[in-house]
Amino acid sequence: MIDAPIERVLTSSGLPFGHVKARTRDLNPNILVRSRCALYPDGSFPHVDDTDQALLAVAIAILAVESGGRGYFTNAEDMVNNIAQTIRQGNLASKLKTYTAPSILAIDDVGLLPMEPSATSAVYQIVNRRYEKQHPPIVTTNRSMPDWGEIFGDTVVASAILDRLMHNAVVFNIKGPSWRLREHHALTTESRSN
């Protein structure tokens, strides 16, 4: 069980702590992460019916916060929208601190939407500053690495971002059907066979 002071810190971090609580029977994220992180010999992540990328990212971030770190959770779309707004306001330097100051940063759903060049530059700055501080972010994505040039609209910048993200990284390649579609599995299986 997570104690009240830690829960307050987690709530202020933006981590979707309620999401983890609602999706797990055991609220101890240490057990959650340990039980979900057994890798197959090829490095892939075994599909578990009640787990998804965001849940794993949040559980890892919760462990960091419980260990005394500061955490921040965002999805890529919100981060890019916030960056775009601060660029228009001429206040990018202060907004970058939101994403570079915490010891743990979890960015969910990178690559669902393409990024504008100004946002691409800001994402590079965030990743690079975190890399220099040896605080790499946790990133979830459904896109393969070769697609990142398309996501960021610049293969050179995408390569630089990936270079910093992948150096000393632990990669979980989660395979299997979508957790959100689990109740509709029969429909998706049926449509594939037709």
Residues contacting 67, CB < 8 A, separation 6+: none
List, for residues 108-138, the tens digit of each pLDDT value.
Answer: 889 888 888 888 999 999 999 999 999 889 8
pLDDT of residue 38: 38
Domain at 4-193, CATH class: alpha beta
Residue 70: band (very low, low, confident or very high) from pLDDT cuts 50, 70, 90: confident
pLDDT of residue 44: 41
List, for residues 18-42, the tens digit of each pLDDT value.
Answer: 554 444 444 344 433 443 333 333 4
For the chain, the domains span: 4-193
**What one-character-per-residue DSSP string does the chain give?**
---HHHHHHHHHTT--HHHHHHH-S---HHHHHHHH-PPPTTSEEPP-TT--HHHHHHHHHHHHHHTT--EEEEEHHHHHHHHHHHHHHT-HHHHHHHHHSSSEEEEEEETSS---HHHHHHHHHHHHHHHHTT-PPEEEESS-GGGHHHHHT-HHHHHHHHHHHHTT----EE-SS-STTGGGHHHHHHHHH-
Residue 69: band (very low, low, confident or very high) from pLDDT cuts 50, 70, 90: confident
